A = this chain, B = another copy of it.
Amino acid sequence: MIKAGIIGATGYAGAELVRILLGHKDVEIKWLGSRSYIDKKYASVYQNMFQLIEGNCLDDNIEELVKQADVVFTATPQGFLASVMKEAYLEQAKFIDLSADYRLKDVKIYEQWYKIEHKSPQFIQEAVYGLCEINRGQVKDARLVANPGCYTTCSILTAYPLVREGLIDADTLIIDAKSGTSGAGRGAKTANLFCEVNENIKAYGITSHRHTPEIEEQLGYAAGRKMTVSFTPHLVPMNRGILACEYASLIKKPDGSLPSESEIRGAYEKYYSGEKFIRLLEPDVFPETKWVEGSNFVDINFKIDERTGRIIMIGALDNLVKGAAGQAVQNMNLMFGLEESEGLAFVPLFP
């Protein structure tokens, strides 16, 4: 049995980790860290866990935690893990960080977008960006995995094959993303009250959302050069789900024609045909967040717009599963040599 510790177990992503790990046959949860609820019964914070989890919330004593755990998940605010990480910890346990601390290779970009100083830049190079479908090989050997953001996972996977194959002009990429409200966390803020979110949709973080540089860096690797994207997230009155609608100009062929639907489809299949968690939908069937709810799937499809010469790519995932906890467990499976999909065989819940 893999012994797992979670720091930040009472946020929505942390709680989803608990839900998933409870059903994972090779894992035992040893530590439910939650600074806000120390010594409180975990199941009194998440009543859905009543009779399923008996333990209390513990503090953030990593020193002690790494002695007891084989793997540590940190579902913590930006800057937390960077501020406490030590080489000694990495020698004792594997780390999967759901925050952004080790996602960006360029510490200056991190500090610029997150507006905090990075306290342990020495681990950034070692950290593996845990987008399993793309970095599977490196994840297997990693001690420290930077689990991708929810918007980024969806945004990158939706465009990746076309960027990689040079079928679209990367500089024209515009990502209009929509998220359920669990992405905003469980903090008590007026803006996230039911009455403020319900019957409402809004864009936020316009031109400044922190997932932007993460998308640019990763898709930049695929493009083979630096690139910028326009990324606009929206808050949608639903609990879970991210839908990314991505626009880009197709690169014309020498004869001036656009790539055909089958060429585009072929590119997607080239990268994803063996992927268990990526479902390339059938032509003219487009992703909807409800179809992936509660599961680790990413649904993807596209449509060529002959009139404008653009392609519209659409992806959907559950922000708490493939966008956070599910992907973290997928990374853990890889790191411990388990079947990659172990404990993740959730059939989407509908309706």
Contact = CB atoms under 8 A, between A and B. Distances in A.
Contact of A174 (B174, B194, B202): B174
A193 B199 contact: no
Given A294-B294, A294-B349, A245 B176 contact: yes
A230 B310 contact: yes
A194 B178 CA distance: 16
A212 to B, nearest CB: 9
A52 B201 CA distance: 22
Contact of A203 (B23, B193, B199, B243): B243
Interface string A40-51: 000010111111
A125 interface: no
B308 A50 contact: no
A220 B255 CA distance: 29
Contact of A239 (B176, B195, B243, B304): B195
A140 B241 CA distance: 41
A254 interface: no
Interface in A224-250: 228-230, 232, 234, 236-241, 243, 245, 247
A288 to B, nearest CB: 4
Interface in A333-351: 345, 347-351
A12 B351 contact: yes
Interface in A8-24: 12, 15, 19, 22-23
Contact of A186 (B47, B193, B240, B288): B193
Interface string A177-189: 0101110001011
A3 interface: no
Contact of A192 (B22, B194, B292, B349): B194
A204 interface: yes
A63 to B, nearest CB: 30
Interface string A270-293: 000000000101000111111111
B194 A46 contact: no
Given A178-B178, A186-B195, A195-B239, A289 B207 contact: no
Contacts of A182: 195, 351
B202 A289 contact: yes
Given A19-B349, A195-B181, A230-B312, A201 B288 contact: yes
A48 B281 contact: no
Interface string A198-210: 1111111011000
A192 B52 CA distance: 25
Nearest to A320: B351
Contacts of A200: 238, 241, 288-290
B228 A291 contact: no
A141 B243 CA distance: 45
Contacts of A345: 23
11 contacts: A50-B299, A194-B237, A195-B351, A200-B288, A200-B290, A203-B245, A206-B303, A230-B247, A230-B312, A239-B351, A349-B349
Interface of A: 12, 15, 19, 22-23, 44, 46-52, 174, 176, 178, 180-182, 186, 188-190, 192-204, 206-207, 228-230, 232, 234, 236-241, 243, 245, 247, 279, 281, 285-295, 299, 303-305, 307-308, 310, 312, 314, 345, 347-351
